[in-house]
Structure 1
Amino acid sequence: MKAAVFLMLLAASAMAQQVRVTLRVIEVPHPELTKWTAGEKLPGSELHERAVKLALAGGAEIVDTNVLIARSGEKALTESIAEVIYPTEWEPPDLGGAQLPLDAKQEFPPILRPSDFSFETRHAGTLLEIEPMVSEDGGFIDLRLAFEMVDLESLATWMEFRDEWGDASVKMPIFDTRRLTSAITLVPGTFELFNVFTPKPAAVPAAATRQLVFVKADVLPVSKP
């Protein structure tokens, strides 16, 4: 009986704990990252401090910062997105049972309209999903995390077309996607280097920078005033 009561009190205590997760992406020159990681094994907090100092001095860039709170053992999700709608498949027009001439079947009809296409929607922006779990003694936080950054890099003209209102060309988007799904054990209040992304600009075969993903989790006990 006492054991059951203890477990109930422990569960209630865990549910009363909230975890604030901070995820920060800092883009640094590749040589700087190589220098930081080539010698001694620096802790994540030291790497984060160096990256922030470099960004404040103008030698790096803070790309993104996300903050999200969830109760221990529960999931939370935040999105900052724009919906990008684009054509994906050409659908021939309905000719009411009529057949195209044989030579016309071998190539596209002379006029294609935007209404002849199927469209899809892609979310461009930032997505962060977390599921933290505070250990019984509060000394560690097990964090499951899914993070995604999608940028609309450019629009490529797939088919030129003009209608009575002007340019109605069909354009295809080019997306740059960085995605991370993993789990990590953190000491509360301390940044850790979780991942390194390699950006791939279209004009640069091997990017000269790296995007460092830092994550920190803080326990925020819920107490009555």
Structure 2
Amino acid sequence: MIRTLVVDDDALVRLGLTDLLDGDPGIEVVAQAADGLQAIERASAFRVDVALVDVRMPRMDGITATARLRALPQPPRVITLTTFDLDRYVYDALAAGADGFLLKDTDPAEILRAVHLVAAGSAMLHPAAARRVIDRYHATGRTAASAARARLDRLTPREREVLALLAEGRANADIGERLAMRESTVKAHVSRILTALGVSNRVQAALLARDAGLVG
């Protein structure tokens, strides 16, 4: 069962998301929060696997809350869910540690799929957000590629294999099956990769791998 936290200052949005998530037999909403500060409190009080976090909220915005959530001793994975697909929201959310970025008009089935994917260790971006990430990649060009390749030089050959599969969006179990290793070993490799690359989550590692040309 995937334990989720719904964070939004609009009570109707919280209600709608809660009804949607609770309708999935594999997902349970264990808490709700109306702002970033409440989100930190609720995530600390309940064991949360995935938090769905709005961007614009009073007291503490969703970007700051995401960074704080990811810094908890038992950090939940975070999906940013917002009405606005502004460039700075996409980049700031990913930089803060979000594993997913969706717009609130995303099809309900896709929101449920995102929760399952993120809980399993994968990532999911709304097509509009993915387009912005790609455009930024094209804009940064060779400089980003050169810097990314230098950072990947810190990895062992085995870690590069794991990173390549991670960048394809594969979950730990799938990576383990393909590389003939236990899932716990894959998790250890992923942890080491994130530390070596100086990134906080799989999305950032995958973007770095693509910048470096490790995957197409």
Give the TM-score band, short-chain normalised.
under 0.3
Greater per-residue strand proportion = 1
Q: Which has the higher contact order (CA 8 A, sep 6+)?
A: 1
